[in-house]
Amino acid sequence: MNLVALALMGATALGVIGVMAALVVGRGARPVVVGALTAAGGVFGTVAGIAAMLGQAWSANLPGLLPLSGVVISVDALGGLFLAVSGAVATTAAVYGIGYSRHGLDGRGVQAIFPVFVLSLLLVPVAGSISTLLVSWELMALTSLLLVLAEHRRRAEVASAGRWYAVMTHLGFVAIVIGLLVLAAPAAGDSYPAVRAAADTLSPTVAGLVLVLCLVGFGSKAGIVPLHAWLPRAHPEAPSHVSALMSAAMVNMGVYGIVRVGFDLMHGGTRWWWLLVLALGAMSAMYGILQAVISTDLKRLLGYSTTENMGLVLVGIGASGLFASSGRPVLAALAATAALLHVIGHAAFKTLLFLAAGSVLHATGTRDLDALGGLRAVMPMTTAAFGLGALAASALPPGTAFISEWVLLQALIHGLPSPGVATSIVLPIAVAAVALTAGLSVATFVKAFGVGFLARPRSDAAAQARESPPTMLAGMALAGMASVGFAIVPTLVLPVLGRVAGDLVGTGSPVAGAVTVELVGIAGSLSPVLLAAALLAATVLVVAVPRVLVARRARRAARLWDCGAGPLSARMEYTATSFAEPLQRVFDNVLQPVQDVDITHVQESRYLVAAVEYRRRVPDRVERRLYEPVLAAAAAWGCVGRRLATGSVHRYLGYGFYTVCALLVLLLVTR
Amino acid sequence: MLSLWRKIRRTGRVAEPAPLAPAMARAAAEMGLGGSVQVRHVDAGSCNGCEVEIGSAFGPVYDAERHGARLVASPRHADALLVTGVVTRNMTEPLRRTYDAVPEPCLVVAVGDCARNCGVFAGAYGVAGAVGDVVPTDLEVPGCPPRPEAIVEALRTLTGR
């Protein structure tokens, strides 16, 4: 019995104890007990994941646990990576949840489901058979759905978000079930080795079908366009520590599923699969960040940013598969490394951002950026946390996303002389998409941070905000440390990620170096430490030198220049809407905003204006084109179906009778 | 396009030589501005006649900028204030604040008769006084409105060019 097994058992035991504790312990101590147990479980999960990444493998067969197929657990390096990420995010979220649950989320149900959700997040990457994967996947979907609905009594939108999530996650589940069952059909059993051995017997068409179905199912969980509609609804409406878990850990499972099925179980497949993955990824990245940049709801903005980041990860995965199928394993490993690093970095900064957004929501009761502002003075720690997260998310050095996107761009650019017309068209577009996404993400997070936290408060709620309790700050501090750590010394994890990625495509690690990240096989190196040091030195120089120089002269304190008129008011500030307006104008054709201007004239004269009303709405275009027709068709079908059910018992008995008769006739004819 | 270039080449430089530089104002000489004065214009309650003339003074015909005077958008950037009009009650405080917002030392030029001594508006109900009653003035340009030459001349006494 090795470390992985012990740690996993510990995590499971702690999760189960957590559930029982939630049911038994009184309301006062419940959040503390459940939070501490879940956090400890998360730590165990992380330990197990790290041990698995470092080379310890473990598998177990528990036939009695689940009827018919039993439970198969098998931990390898790839699963270990996602296990470690889930565990770490769960720890942070659980610590934060101790303080956050105090206002109305300390009910027995919510507290008991939280450890189950964490446990399911730890179970999905360690599942060793198709049936175990499906069961843990469904457990994850159901528990997260219940947690999304936690605040349904307080806000009406929660119910609508929950419905969207429930329907879409289950449609995705249906796709996964069909895909994986077709995949497992020719195999001797449903464990991964058996499926892997039998995967080559599938015809290319069937294999392609399996991949597309899995892409639909797993992609919808990862919030990939056009299956993202639930994500910007459900993530904002969930309690914030659950949002962090969903946005930083659960969406990763979609990526895990695609990698597991595409690379591991089906051995890489053909080129068009990965072109499809890459195209979907690039589209999601651009569409997600474009919606984020015009969003005025803080958590919705973060939700769209998740879609963007998962898109970038899929660009890496797609590029990796593409290079692998064109016989360039080194580049394939490099692209996969970039994708995995982005998964880790995204988990760190998105946890931080969602937790900070949760603190803002906790303190002010609103997520509307146009009603926030001025939080720097009253919530300095939260502001620092959000600022750190925003820096990491905006793909600028010294941020985590900068390094992973740099590695990704290196892989894409060095892959340009690849054979094939489609490749030579798609790769340059992918480079441009990554660059555009990085630029827009800077604008997004400048907006979120500047409008949300700096300047003057735009509402009484923002002016009267108070700093969060210590456990919430501790949760943010954990996520913040992880975010800074990965940004400055990514070399701690890169060799391991390189090995995992190398194993996927059958080659060695594509990155080397202890301080400087050096790419193996292609020219390129980057030193995050030196970069951070240089930035720090430059900042000190720019800030300190003028101070020293100016200090010699006589100084005079003067009033803030306000054009000589009255005091500056919050109404003079940039709002989130006005900040994004130029970008909205640039992307007018893509976003197609709906704007109305209503002018009311004074009764006596049409030359005098009494009031001007301006309304702007940016409907999600994908939703309007893709979902509304489907919903309308479903509603129409329902109306037609209603004619069959008139409420007459005789008629229902008749239906039963005639159906049985028809079946008997059918049997008679076919036998 | 080419014909335009040809026209420009054929016409050459037609500007008249500027009149000789006037003697530098004492306050400006003490400040040591080095021939460049950044000017912020404040309308303290003018009828806009002086504004038209200031616009003309900085236009292509009189071109005060060639003598080193430049209009700027904020008092924070300015060395001098160019104040026009009587100071109305509403503009008293903003004028004082604008004066405070200029980095020291600050020159004030009162442009037009209203700014010097309230002109035709003297004694009107909304008038707080002349510019000199609110902020210390260093230079006055008479006229209602003053001709652009007079404004340029006053500015040249500041720049010394």
pLDDT in tens, A426-446: 899 999 999 999 999 999 999
Contact: B100, A558; criterion CB under 8 Å: yes
Task: Give A203 or A417, the one with higher predicted confidence.
Answer: A203
The predicted structure's pLDDT at residue A95 = 94
- Contact with chain B for residue A564, Cβ under 8 A: yes
- Contact with chain B for residue A559, Cβ under 8 A: yes
Q: Write down the mean pLDDT value for chain A.
A: 90
CA A220 to chain B, closest CA, distance in angstroms equals: 53
Report d(CA B74, CA A303) in Å as an integer: 41
Residue A273's pLDDT band, with cuts at 50, 70 and 90, is: very high
Q: What percent of chain A has pLDDT over 70?
A: 100
The amino acid that residue B95 corresponds to is: L
DSSP state letters, A195-209: HHHHGGGS-HHHHHH
Q: CA nearest A558 in B: which residue?
A: B101
C-beta separation of B28 from B160 below 8 A: yes
In terms of DSSP H, where are the helices of A454-527?
Answer: 460-463, 470-488, 494-505
| Residue B107 structure tokens | 């020159």
- Contact with chain B for residue A567, Cβ under 8 A: no
| pLDDT, tens digit, 9 for 90 and up, residues A584-626 | 999 988 888 888 999 999 999 888 999 999 888 888 888 888 8
Report d(CA A318, CA A270) in Å as an integer: 11
Contact: A559, B101; criterion CB under 8 Å: yes
Tell me which chain A residues have a C-beta less than 8 angstroms from the C-beta of B75.
561
- Contact with chain B for residue A565, Cβ under 8 A: yes
Residue A63 has pLDDT above 80, yes or no: yes
Number of neighbouring beta carbons within 10 Å of residue A308: 29
B interface with A, Cβ–Cβ < 8 A, is 74-76, 93-95, 97-98, 100-101, 104
CA B41 to chain A, closest CA, distance in angstroms equals: 12
List, in sequence order, every residue forming a beta bridge with A58; answer none if it has no partner.
A75
Q: CA nearest A565 in B: which residue?
A: B94
Report d(CA A498, CA A547) in Å as an integer: 45
C-beta separation of A401 from A346 below 8 A: yes
Residue A185 has pLDDT above 80, yes or no: yes
Tell me which chain A residues have a C-beta less than 8 angstroms from the C-beta of B98.
564
Crossing angle, helix A108-123 and helix A3-24, to 10 degrees?
170
Contact: A564, B104; criterion CB under 8 Å: no
Output the furthest CA–CA distance in chain A (Å, rounded): 106
Q: For strand B127-129 and strand B107-111, is the pairing parallel, antiparallel, or unpaired?
A: unpaired
Residue A667's pLDDT band, with cuts at 50, 70 and 90, is: very high
CA B77 to chain A, closest CA, distance in angstroms equals: 12
Q: CA nearest A560 in B: which residue?
A: B101
Choose, out of B77, B87, B97, the residue to mutate when testing the contact with A (most A CBs < 10 Å).
Answer: B97
The amino acid that residue A166 corresponds to is: A
C-beta separation of A515 from A495 below 8 A: no
Residue A20's pLDDT band, with cuts at 50, 70 and 90, is: very high
Residue A1's pLDDT band, with cuts at 50, 70 and 90, is: low
CA A446 to chain B, closest CA, distance in angstroms equals: 26
C-beta separation of A170 from A134 below 8 A: no
Buried b (16+ CB within 10 A) or exposed e, A325-346: bbebbbbbbbbbbbbbbbbbbb
- Which of B76, B94, B104 lies at the smallest CB-CB distance from A564? B94
Tell me which chain A residues have a C-beta less than 8 angstroms from the C-beta of B92.
none
- What is the ipTM score, two decimals? 0.81
C-beta separation of A401 from A350 below 8 A: no
Least confident of A287-296, A461-470, A597-606, B13-22: B13-22
Residue A310's pLDDT band, with cuts at 50, 70 and 90, is: very high
Contact: A559, B94; criterion CB under 8 Å: no
Number of neighbouring beta carbons within 10 Å of residue A15: 27
Q: CA nearest A561 in B: which residue?
A: B101
- Which of B74, B93, B95 lies at the smallest CB-CB distance from A561? B74
Output the furthest CA–CA distance in chain B (Å, rounded): 59
Contact: A563, B94; criterion CB under 8 Å: yes
Tell me which chain A residues have a C-beta less than 8 angstroms from the C-beta of B97.
559, 562, 564
Q: Could you identify the residue written with the tokens 């190398």?
A: A502
Tell me which chain B residues have a C-beta less than 8 angstroms from the C-beta of A561.
74-76, 101
Q: What is the dihedral of CA A622, A630, A139, A146, to 10 degrees?
A: 80
- Which of A556, A558, A565 lies at the smallest CB-CB distance from B94? A565
Least confident of A24-28, A354-358, A656-660: A24-28
Task: Give A103 or B61, the one with higher predicted confidence.
Answer: B61
Residue B110 Ramachandran class (φ > 0 left, ψ -120 to 50 alpha, else beta):
beta
- Contact with chain B for residue A156, Cβ under 8 A: no
| Residue A298 structure tokens | 């803080």
- Contact with chain B for residue A644, Cβ under 8 A: no
Report d(CA A180, CA A7) in Å as an integer: 29
Short-list A229, A227, A220, CA closest to A255: A220
Task: Give A648 or B110, the one with higher predicted confidence.
Answer: B110
| Residue A640 structure tokens | 């037609």
Q: CA nearest A559 in B: which residue?
A: B101
Cβ-proximal residues to A91 (8 Å cutoff; 6+ apart), any chain: A39, A42, A43, A46, A478
The predicted structure's pLDDT at residue A560 = 86
CA A557 to chain B, closest CA, distance in angstroms equals: 10
Q: CA nearest A564 in B: which residue?
A: B94
| pLDDT, tens digit, 9 for 90 and up, residues A129-176 | 999 999 999 999 999 999 999 988 888 889 999 999 999 999 999 999
C-beta separation of A235 from A299 below 8 A: yes
Choose, out of B74, B100, B102, the residue to mutate when testing the contact with A (most A CBs < 10 Å).
Answer: B100
- Phi, psi dihedral angles at A267 (to 5 degrees): 60, 35
- Which of A556, A561, A562 lies at the smallest CB-CB distance from B104? A556
- Which of B76, B95, B104 lies at the smallest CB-CB distance from A561? B76
Helix, coil or strand: residue A77: helix
Cα angle value A302/A306/A312 (rounded, 5°) = 140
In terms of DSSP H, where are the helices of A124-250?
Answer: 130-148, 157-184, 192-198, 204-221, 231-237, 240-245
Contact: A559, B97; criterion CB under 8 Å: yes
- The HSE-up count of residue A529 (CA atoms within 13 Å, CB side) is 9
CA B17 to chain A, closest CA, distance in angstroms equals: 38
| pLDDT, tens digit, 9 for 90 and up, residues B54-87 | 999 999 889 999 999 999 999 999 999 999 999 9
Contact: B75, A561; criterion CB under 8 Å: yes
**Residue range A24-28: mean pLDDT, rounded:** 87
Helix, coil or strand: residue A15: helix
The predicted structure's pLDDT at residue A444 = 95
Cα angle value A404/A408/A411 (rounded, 5°) = 140
- Any idea what DSSP says for residue B112? S
Residue A538's pLDDT band, with cuts at 50, 70 and 90, is: very high
- Contact with chain B for residue A553, Cβ under 8 A: no
Choose, out of A553, A555, A561, the residue to mutate when testing the contact with B (most B CBs < 10 Å).
Answer: A561
A/B interface, count of CB pairs below 8 Å: 19
| Residue B109 structure tokens | 């030029």
Contact: B93, A563; criterion CB under 8 Å: no
Q: Write down the mean pLDDT value for chain B.
A: 92
| Residue A618 structure tokens | 């940016």
Residue A650's pLDDT band, with cuts at 50, 70 and 90, is: very high
Q: Could you identify the residue written with the tokens 């659980």?
A: A94
C-beta separation of B44 from B76 below 8 A: no
CA B36 to chain centre: 14
CA B134 to chain A, closest CA, distance in angstroms equals: 14
Q: Could you identify the residue written with the tokens 């450890």?
A: A115
| pLDDT, tens digit, 9 for 90 and up, residues A332-382 | 999 999 999 999 999 999 999 999 999 999 999 899 998 998 899 999 999
- Any idea what DSSP says for residue A519? E
CA B20 to chain A, closest CA, distance in angstroms equals: 37
Task: Give B146 or A512, the one with higher predicted confidence.
Answer: B146
